[in-house]
Chains A and B, each alone.
Chain A
């Protein structure tokens, strides 16, 4: 178990290492110079050299990457002219664009993305398991058909298309909801949920389809197993068989999937955030990419990479915890 965790951790560090190196290499090779953008119009060569130095892009790629790693582990000092700032570990540098520490930018925006991902996950779990259960029990033939159709359709809609249609319907045509703006949960929980409702639905559609499909298959498989037949033979009421036994077996695979999906949702939230104009991590990335804001891009990518790697590890552990047949190697 401990050996497994250590190996897993090693693998995670390696992935993040590779990811950051890849980004640094690409930005270094890229023909666009972030210093020119920062310096602006009418920039003299001397001023440009100064800016380059202050941003640290006048060094070789290895020196830059080395400094980055040092900052991440131990923190580092930035000096521009006479002013020296200390950036404590884990230091991801300062944004070229806004001059704020990247760590702060990420932490400011994380609650938005987390709210979005968490709500969408809950919504899709409830809707997906419900639909899958209804279809799997095959009480009503037509219901099975409808769920099936919706599952297939759910695979075929991009998030932003659902988002646009929802906005069109609920905000423009019916005017039931306001255009989403982010309200922190701590300020006003009701407004928080009301504003995030449409983004949640948009984001949940695809996951719901996947969950419905899994639950349905799982229910049918479990209901065909021997222990269910035994329970029926004992004369247990059907509702008890379904709730206590069949559902349990059917939901096993969902446990691990949820952990992985939560991280996956965070990354696909890039589209949803841009679509609805929510100030989350994804929106930060899109903005930073257009401004060639290297520290921010690296920060966001590492954060999402970290989330995915962590989610995968948690999923494996959960799987071993709920299913005693699985052994961790």
Chain B
């Protein structure tokens, strides 16, 4: 169930331009004629202006097509979250294996560093960082990078722990005796053993990163208009929710559904890959 929704959302995100074209709408065109100017720009008609032309109604204040904005928003939200997660896993794996294999001093220094990264108030720093960077930089890319640079600590910690256990295995000793270098050992002997724990952790990171992205866009330091994102829609919705509740419910509901599906997938993955833990978490 969770997996089905997750796959569906990924498909929606991937085919956003196509879907918008099918609906015959785009996410930038203003439709002033669909708004009730007497009531400050609330969409005309019931349920936020839902009609056969505008499947999910229009945005209050601007009249932009909500369906097109929602599917493009999926692209931004998922894209940023996936990008950030991939980056986090890469940095975490690199630092974690280096700490696990690098010997006492390297381990001590890197572990301290990881502790420091884990202690950072991520949201606060991300807000400051994103506000400083010039507006014309590509925002989604920037968001993914900032989230990843602040959030790789957990992956590194898990990788280090696993590496420390894996390196004591006989097959690693055998590889070392047969003259394999550290890089080769890391790649051929350690990395395969890391797949399961890191994958489980990354599956949980994905929805977390989505929440962070939505939060940053909600605070106005994420993606900028006209580029849509669910968090940013909800941010505009704070001023409209009294007059047009559909504008909260549609992006909010989708965000919740997507997050829930990813959490379910992560939960299932953990059960499948880590039978010991599933006893407790069932």
The answer to whether the Cβ of A76 comes within 8 Å of any Cβ in the partner chain is: no
Residues of B contacting A304 in the complex (Cβ-Cβ under 8 angstroms): 121, 124
Whether the pair A217, B255 counts as a contact (CB closer than 8 A) is no
Is A289 touching B221 in the complex (CB atoms < 8 A)? yes
Q: Give the segment of B9-17, B52-60, B125-133, B151-159 that binds chain A.
A: B125-133
Contact B131 A289 (CB under 8 A): yes
Majority SS at the chain B contact face? helix
Q: Do the beta carbons of A160 and B124 come within 8 Å of each other?
A: no
Let me know if A160 and B234 touch, CB within 8 A. yes
* A201 close to chain B: CB less than 8 A: no
Q: Are B127 and A286 in contact (CB under 8 A)?
A: yes
Residues A122-139 near B (CB distance < 8 A): none
Query: Which B residues lie within 8 Å of A220 (CB)?
Result: 280
**From residue 282 to 309 of chain A, which have CB atoms closer than 8 A to chain B?**
285-286, 289-290, 292, 297, 300-301, 304-305, 308-309
Q: Do B260 and A15 have beta carbons less than 8 Å apart?
A: no
Pick the contact of B128: A156, A271, A289 (CB < 8 A): A289
**How far is A297 from B259 in the complex, measured between Cα atoms in Å?**
31
Chain A contacts of B280 at CB under 8 A? Answer: 217, 220-221
Contacts of B119 in A (CB 8 A): 15, 305, 308-309, 312
Cβ of A31 under 8 Å from chain B: yes
Interface string of B131-163 (1 = CB under 8 A from A): 111100000000000000000000000000000
- Cα distance, A27 to B259, chains bound together (Å): 34
Q: Which residue of A lies closest to B127 (CB)?
A: A289
Shortest B109–chain A CB gap in Å is 13
Partner of A152, one of B124, B125, B127, B267: B267
Residues from chain B with a CB closer than 8 A to the CB of A305 are 119-121
Provide the A206-241 mask, 1 if CB < 8 A to any CB of B, else 0. Answer: 000000010001001100000000000000000000
The 0/1 profile, CB within 8 Å of A marked 1, for residues 254-273 of chain B is 01100110111001000000
A19 touches B215 (CB 8 A): no
Bound together, the chains give a CA A220 to CA B235 distance in angstroms of: 41
A209 to chain B, nearest CB (A): 10
Interface string of A20-62 (1 = CB under 8 A from B): 0011001100111000000000000000000000000000000
Q: Does B191 contact A (CB under 8 A)?
A: no
Q: Is A177 an interface residue (CB 8 A)?
A: no
- Chain A CB within 8 A of B50 CB: no
Whether B128 and A155, one on each chain, are in contact in the complex, defined by CB atoms closer than 8 angstroms, is no
Q: Judge whether A183 is part of the interface by a CB distance below 8 angstroms.
A: no
Residues in A neighbouring B197, C-beta threshold 8 A: none
**A292 & B131 in contact (Cβ 8 Å cutoff):** yes
Report 24 cross-chain contacts, Cβ distance below 8 Å, ordered by A residue: A11-B115, A19-B125, A27-B132, A31-B134, A152-B260, A152-B267, A153-B260, A160-B214, A164-B252, A220-B280, A267-B121, A270-B124, A275-B238, A285-B124, A286-B127, A289-B131, A289-B221, A290-B131, A290-B220, A301-B124, A301-B125, A305-B120, A308-B119, A312-B119
**A interface with B by C-beta (< 8 Å):** 11, 14-15, 18-19, 22-23, 26-27, 30-32, 152-153, 155-161, 164-165, 167-168, 172, 213, 217, 220-221, 267-268, 270-271, 274-275, 285-286, 289-290, 292, 297, 300-301, 304-305, 308-309, 312
